Amino acid sequence: MPIRVLIIDDSAVVRRMATEALSVDPEIEVVGTAVDPYAARDKITELKPDVITLDIEMPRMDGLTFLEILMQRRPTPVIVMSSLSQRGSEHALEALRLGAFDVLGKPDGSYSFGDLGPQLIQKIKAAASARLRALPPPLKPSRTPGTRPAIAPPALRALHPRSVILLGASTGGTEALREVITHLPPNLPGIAIVQHIPAMFSRAFADRLRSLSSLDVREAVDGDCLSPGVALVAPGNFHLLLDWRADHYRVRVVSGPQIWHQRPAVDMLFKSAKDCGAAPHAVAGILTGMGKDGAEGLLHLREGGAITFAQDEASSIVYGMPRAAWENGGAQHQVSLGRVADFITRQFTSNVASHPLAAHAP
């Protein structure tokens, strides 16, 4: 049976182009379109779509309001189409918080659909078999300007100066990373993050994490220092690499070919960390996401002495990247999402003198 898709967008051009783009795949059937949530309401009941594509900015009822109602009353995988603007980025992140499966950045101009067709097909197929998550409670920033959330910093061991935390994620990763980052104390080693995310969305994502956590989370800029208490997020459409400079880490933000159809790619970060000697002092993990990005790099890190993990299947929205990392031996441990922050913290608070990340490690 083909995957049944309902397209909700107030633009007739977008509805037509999305329908045409999806029609090339025999495994997908567009069963209907709607100009706004009110028109979609009855069609959802009648057509029972497996996946919905949803515009955010529509007349009569905006997409976010509709998404919240939908996830409460008839949970359905939803792929959000959002404009590549600051406002659009913020709306896209809110849609992910409300339970959207994934987001696609709408190109500027109604007549430019670009290469969104293959991306949309890929996401629809993944969404049709994904695990829906319950709608979380509303988020409130944990700090106001000049303040930090009250997470008591644990007593750390004497750490090697090359200690570092490396995280990669894709579909479902923005909320998974929120769960992890907001539960980490501020005195851990620096954190480098690759999240598969459209260009322009990564800055809003980093800003949101910073507002909710005790860490200084920022979109990475080429040459940034990765120091304790800092988390740097790869900019959308750029790879994030790690370098060691005399006595500290710096990051490089570079272009280059896509890896596993992704830019940024988790493998690029992990392999650069191995190349600059970080492996014996690193904790590295892969969270929810489709595909295989990061598995090979995680294996290289593990072989170099890193402590590695993958999110477990039960807590993953899409158990693709974590599965690949577990099956190829890159991940030493499988960890449920709710325990990831504690798992990471414990690697730097153990009192065992022979701990691989201790200051005396080679």
Give the number of other Cβ atoms within 10 Å of residue 223's Cβ: 11
Backbone dihedral region for residue 229 (phi beyond 0: left; psi -120 to 50: alpha; all else: beta): left
Q: Can you say whether the dihedral through the CA atoms of 228, 312, 98, 53 is positive or negative?
A: positive
Which residues are CB-neighbours of 108 under 8 A, at least 6 positions away? Answer: 83, 84
196 is catalytic: yes
Catalytic pick among 91, 183, 196, 300: 196
Q: Which two tokens stand for residue 60?
A: 């009569």
Give the H or E element holding residue 165. Answer: strand 164-169
Catalytic pick among 239, 293, 312, 316: 293
Q: Which of 13, 124, 130 is nearest to 75 (CA)?
A: 130
Torsion of CA 181, 186, 187, 190, to 10 degrees: 50
Report the 3 state secondary structure along 36-82: CHHHHHHHHHHHCCCEEEEECCCCCCCHHHHHHHHHHHCCCCEEEEE
The owner of tokens 């993050």 is 193
DSSP string, 89-120: HHHHHHHHHTT-SEEEEEPSSTT--TTHHHHH
CA angle 288, 292, 296 (to 5 degrees): 115
Instruction: Show the beta-strand stretches assigned E in 196-338.
Output: 216-219, 225-226, 230-233, 239-245, 248-254, 282-286, 307-311, 333-335
Q: From residue 324, give the alpha-carbon distance in Å to each of 154, 266, 271, 321.
A: 33, 13, 16, 5
Catalytic pick among 163, 170, 202, 315: 170
Question: How many helices (H) and strands (E) in the chain?
Answer: 11, 15
DSSP-assigned letter for residue 348? T
Q: What is the CA radius of gyration of the chain?
A: 21
CA distance 182 to 172: 16
293 is catalytic: yes
Tell me the catalytic residues: 170, 196, 293
